[in-house]
Chain A
Amino acid sequence: MSATVPTQPVEGLPMQRDEIKTIYERSVEGRRAFAAPPLDVPVKPLDELIPAALRRSTPAQLPQVSEPEIVRHYNRLSKRNFDLDTGFYPLGSCTMKHNPKLHERVAGLPGNARLHPLQDPARAQGALELMHGLQESLGEIAGMPHVSLQPSAGSHGELAGLLLTRAYHEDRGEQRTKVLTPDTAHGTNPATVTMAGYEVVKVGTNADGGVDVDDLRAKADDSVACLMLTNPNTLGVFDPQIEEIARIVHGVGATLYYDGANLNAIMGITRPGDMGFDIVHFNLHKSFTQPHGGGGPGAGPIAVSDRIAPYLPRPQVVKREDGTFDLEHDIPKSIGKLRGFQGNYGVFVRSYAYIRSLGAEGLREASEIAVLNANYLLALLRRAGVAEYLPAAFDRLCMHEFVLSGAPMKRDLGIRTLDLAKRLLDHGVHPPTVYFPLLVDEALLLEPTETETKETLDHFADVIAEILAEAKADPEIARNAPYTTPVRRLDEAGAAKKPVIRQPL
């Protein structure tokens, strides 16, 4: 293995030699990828079709390139990317599981792919039935019967959850100002709290990695609207105090929100509804195999308990008594519409295909293997030569992910978690999540998922051991990695301070 992994910059690899150009820089005046056939319909003046006031006055500046140029450009870009179809991608709390190819076939069926968002519900019965079926399935998995598919991402589901919380309290004549989040929370939680107009109050973590219940009790009062919790949390720890936590939160009249980012650990084993949660969001791109979209299209459906149901977004997909499906707009206390149309339907198709092809037993097995894989990898990394530099942050069985601390590695070998992460790229492995959760020094958060083989996990552990051994001999190798990627270390500080976000045309 080591013989083939360069330890110094490699010049002239095809990807490094290749000049990086945008599609606009490839544009040449007059070049075309498409020739329109002769017109075979009567000509109408443009003014009759689109009023002049609605038309642009100058032509759009689109790149002018030939078809082979377009194909090569995007093919080249795709090769510069590291994705799940390229290699192991153990990004903690992101659940980078395989996207079954069957789902693409189903999503591409003309009845799904060509559906128009303005189609009359009477003529979109199949689509509505699928959405209704997905609602029922997600409700069953969550242990909360009322589902809305409207939110378009996990963070959007969080926002929906807090808007629902506000509607619930205002309906009861209550004004609440604070939302509690543990210090292990995903960054989106406090961001959502702020966006929804509440004040963030942090709750501490106990020695076992769970919520500091005394701290929670001290901070829970009738000014608190909600506690947002991830369980298992970002330390990969399931908090067994959840029933006590729910009692405290409900005792002051607040809602309990379940961040579904880590649902992959518990599907079919336990349910947020049974733990006492009021609202949960699902990340269909994490637990339910929708591809991670780099910003879209996504879906972050929510499920809620009975007391929150009257405020759900509208319209809702419902089944009428005659067995037909429809969009219900008559929800008087609804928080309203959260987005245009009904959501990203293609995402629903893929996730529904996943749930139906695995079934209840299969989903449970997926979670069990996700947890088993994480524990297997954690056990492998407890070997000599690794554990003394990268100890587990919490020395116990983990759930579907676990956290290591690179602090001893930084102290004793002189390489940081970032250096280890960069060096992994030279081995064809995507690094895990780094420097999160924040409360672990030099953190690495690893989530192998259920779809990785034993051989892949063994190889990853070997690679980690090899990088540490290499750093012991010469830390400069990792400090200057990666060597084999299209671009090497990026100036992250420069990118944040002086971002170049426009390209002159």
Chain B
Amino acid sequence: MADASYPEDLLYHAEHDWAKIDGDVATFGVTWFAQDSLGDVVFFDPPAVGAQVTAGEGYAEVESVKAVSDVIAPLSGEIVEVNEALKDTPEQINDDPYGEGWMVKVKLSDPSQTETLLSQADYTAQLG
């Protein structure tokens, strides 16, 4: 499992999710803290391409050896791509949470929502 890290170029949601902004499309995933708390992930249940997601609400489920948890969307929009590889290798969420473990790409409905997200410094501060 990877060492604790929180890249500076990402934006964070308090429910332990990250977003990487590229124009009006964002990539979502869960943070190192989230995957560490979950333990070994055994299943990722993604949303369908075209589904609408709402900031602060669940858009997918991850199942670990401990529990099934909702994954919270940091921003609102429409799913344009899903990381299909996680179907067979959900452990990428543990091994590489910011890289191969990305979950979905979303066309943002309101790019100004990014202002509500946390910087790396603010997010790690609230982890304590």
In the complex, are the beta carbons of B65 and A492 less than 8 A apart? Answer: yes
Whether a CB of chain A sits under 8 angstroms from the CB of B78 is no
Closest B residue to A497 by beta carbon equals B42
In the complex, are the beta carbons of A493 and B67 less than 8 A apart? Answer: no
Report the Cα distance A492→B40, complex, angstroms: 8
In the complex, are the beta carbons of B66 and A496 less than 8 A apart? Answer: no
Known: A435-B66, A438-B67, A492-B65. A497 touches B37 (CB 8 A): no
Whether a CB of chain B sits under 8 angstroms from the CB of A441 is yes
In the complex, are the beta carbons of B90 and A497 less than 8 A apart? Answer: yes
In the complex, are the beta carbons of A496 and B42 less than 8 A apart? Answer: yes
The listed residue with most A CB atoms (<10 A of its CB), out of B41, B42, B43, B67, is B42
Would you list which residues of chain B between 71 and 120 have a CB under 8 Å from chain A?
Answer: 90-91
Whether a CB of chain A sits under 8 angstroms from the CB of B63 is yes
Among A436, A438, A441, A493, the residue within 8 A (CB) of B65 is A493
Would you list which residues of chain A between 479 and 501 have a CB under 8 Å from chain B?
Answer: 492-493, 496-497
Would you list which residues of chain B between 3 and 45 have a CB under 8 Å from chain A?
Answer: 37, 39-43
Report the Cα distance A418→B39, complex, angstroms: 10
In the complex, are the beta carbons of B40 and A493 less than 8 A apart? Answer: yes
Closest B residue to A438 by beta carbon equals B67
In whole Å, how far is B38's beta carbon from the nearest beta carbon of chain A? 10
B63: chain A residues within 8 A (beta carbon): 496
Among A418, A436, A492, A497, the residue within 8 A (CB) of B43 is A497
Closest A residue to B65 by beta carbon equals A492
Report the Cα distance A418→B67, complex, angstroms: 14
B43: chain A residues within 8 A (beta carbon): 496-497
- Residue-wise, chain A 410-442 has the 8 Å CB interface mask toward B (1 for contact) of 000000001000000000000000011010010
Report the Cα distance A436→B90, complex, angstroms: 23
A438: chain B residues within 8 A (beta carbon): 67
In whole Å, how far is B42's beta carbon from the nearest beta carbon of chain A? 4
Closest B residue to A434 by beta carbon equals B66
In whole Å, how far is A194's beta carbon from the nearest beta carbon of chain B? 12
In whole Å, how far is B24's beta carbon from the nearest beta carbon of chain A? 32
In the complex, are the beta carbons of A441 and B37 less than 8 A apart? Answer: yes
B40: chain A residues within 8 A (beta carbon): 492-493
Would you list which residues of chain B between 33 and 62 have a CB under 8 Å from chain A?
Answer: 37, 39-43
Report the Cα distance A435→B65, complex, angstroms: 10
Report the Cα distance A351→B70, complex, angstroms: 40
Report the Cα distance A418→B42, complex, angstroms: 17
In whole Å, how far is A442's beta carbon from the nearest beta carbon of chain B? 8
Closest B residue to A441 by beta carbon equals B37
Report the Cα distance A438→B40, complex, angstroms: 16
In whole Å, how far is B127's beta carbon from the nearest beta carbon of chain A? 11
In the complex, are the beta carbons of B66 and A493 less than 8 A apart? Answer: no
B90: chain A residues within 8 A (beta carbon): 497
Report the Cα distance A496→B66, complex, angstroms: 11
Closest B residue to A442 by beta carbon equals B37
In the complex, are the beta carbons of B37 and A496 less than 8 A apart? Answer: no
A492: chain B residues within 8 A (beta carbon): 40, 65
Report the Cα distance A441→B37, complex, angstroms: 8
In the complex, are the beta carbons of A493 and B91 less than 8 A apart? Answer: yes
In the complex, are the beta carbons of A496 and B65 less than 8 A apart? Answer: yes
Report the Cα distance A497→B65, complex, angstroms: 10
In the complex, are the beta carbons of B42 and A493 less than 8 A apart? Answer: yes
B91: chain A residues within 8 A (beta carbon): 493
Report the Cα distance A441→B65, complex, angstroms: 15
In whole Å, how far is A396's beta carbon from the nearest beta carbon of chain B? 23
Report the Cα distance A238→B41, complex, angstroms: 34
A493: chain B residues within 8 A (beta carbon): 40-42, 65, 91
Closest A residue to B90 by beta carbon equals A497
Report the Cα distance A418→B63, complex, angstroms: 17
In the complex, are the beta carbons of B42 and A435 less than 8 A apart? Answer: no
A418: chain B residues within 8 A (beta carbon): 39
Report the Cα distance A43→B121, complex, angstroms: 87
Closest B residue to A493 by beta carbon equals B40
Report the Cα distance A402→B116, complex, angstroms: 38
In whole Å, how far is A131's beta carbon from the nearest beta carbon of chain B? 38
Closest B residue to A435 by beta carbon equals B66
B42: chain A residues within 8 A (beta carbon): 493, 496-497
B41: chain A residues within 8 A (beta carbon): 493
The listed residue with most B CB atoms (<10 A of its CB), out of A435, A436, A497, is A497
Report the Cα distance A448→B39, complex, angstroms: 27
Closest B residue to A492 by beta carbon equals B65
B66: chain A residues within 8 A (beta carbon): 435
A496: chain B residues within 8 A (beta carbon): 42-43, 63, 65
A435: chain B residues within 8 A (beta carbon): 39, 66-67
Closest A residue to B63 by beta carbon equals A496
Report the Cα distance A435→B36, complex, angstroms: 13
Closest A residue to B94 by beta carbon equals A493
Residues of A within 8 A of B (CB): 418, 435-436, 438, 441, 492-493, 496-497
Residues of B within 8 A of A (CB): 37, 39-43, 63, 65-67, 90-91
Please list the 4 inter-chain residue pairs (A to B) with the smallest Cβ-Cβ separation, ordered nearest first.
A493-B40, A496-B42, A492-B65, A435-B66
A sample of 11 cross-chain residue pairs with beta-carbon separation below 8 angstroms, ordered by A number, consists of A418-B39, A435-B39, A435-B66, A435-B67, A438-B67, A441-B37, A492-B65, A493-B91, A496-B42, A496-B65, A497-B42
Not counting A438-B67, A493-B40, A493-B91, a sample of 5 additional A-B residue pairs whose C-beta atoms are within 8 angstroms of each other reads A441-B37, A492-B40, A496-B43, A497-B42, A497-B90
